[in-house]
Amino acid sequence: MGEDGVVIVLVHGAWHDASCWSAVESELAARGQPSLAVDLPAQDPDLGAADYADAVISALGPEPTGPLVLVGHSLGGLTVPVVAQRLGPERVRALVLVGALVPRPGLSYVDQLRADPSMMAPGFGAGQQRHEDGTTSWPRDVALTDLYRGVADEVSAAQVERAVSAMRRQGWKIGREPTPLTAWPAVRTVSVICSHDQVVSPDWSRRTARDIGAEVVDLPGGHFPILTRPAELADILVRAGSTATT
């Protein structure tokens, strides 16, 4: 079992759902580590970070669990600190940001991007399809060459195809609204930075990790270690939940 009942809570990024964590969940299970992948209501254009945090807390159920490690991949980074703020350090042992966006109190993601366009990799996002309800999605071919660019160099093309086929629309209230986060949670924070991330800039992630006092863990490869390096990522998550800080 995980150390003193730790549960690792996995929060997906934009255009994905809980199934994107399946390889990581398998690796965690092999280590005897309980985990929970949460499905966010991301397709609803009227819901934002507070609603996403509600979904995570609801998924935990009414009975208290052991200490939590909250893991946010990509856009999930805008949600997990809000959950930590709600639950407090009594329940949250650590936050882990995996190639993640990081909210700044008082600002929206759009505000942050306008102030510092370097947060996203050059050219990212131009191929999104925008819908009348305010959601966006990715045509299959564009997702392969933009959102998942370079990932096929790390895993098989068939694995990338399966990942892309499971994608869905993403609403963007979460990007337009000022974050409900009021201050960075007083819990251990680990920032997993992917050296060849072609979505969220590794340089920006490194600067931001310093600003929030996060421990940095470097991984080779691109934006989707949840698919390409699940064993390595599982080891990082287990260590984050340990009472040791090495």
Taking only the tens place, the pLDDT of each residue in 81-126 is: 999 999 999 999 999 999 999 999 999 999 999 999 999 999 888 8
CA distance 15 to 244: 35
pLDDT of residue 106: 97
pLDDT of residue 64: 73
pLDDT of residue 4: 81
Break the chain into its structural domains and give their ranges: 3-240
Phi, psi (rounded to 5 degrees) for 111: -60, -45
Dihedral (Cα; 245, 205, 221, 92), 10-degree rounding: 40
From the options 3.40.50.720, 3.40.50.1820, 3.30.565.10, 3.30.470.10, give the CATH code of 3-240. Answer: 3.40.50.1820
pLDDT of residue 3: 63
- pLDDT one digit per residue (tens) for the chain, 246 residues: 456 899 999 999 999 999 999 999 999 999 999 999 999 999 999 999 999 999 999 999 987 778 999 999 999 999 999 999 999 999 999 999 999 999 999 999 999 999 999 999 998 888 899 999 999 999 999 999 899 988 989 999 999 999 999 999 999 999 999 999 999 999 999 999 999 999 999 999 999 999 999 999 999 999 999 999 999 999 999 999 987 554
- C-alpha closest to that of 98 among 187, 210, 197: 197
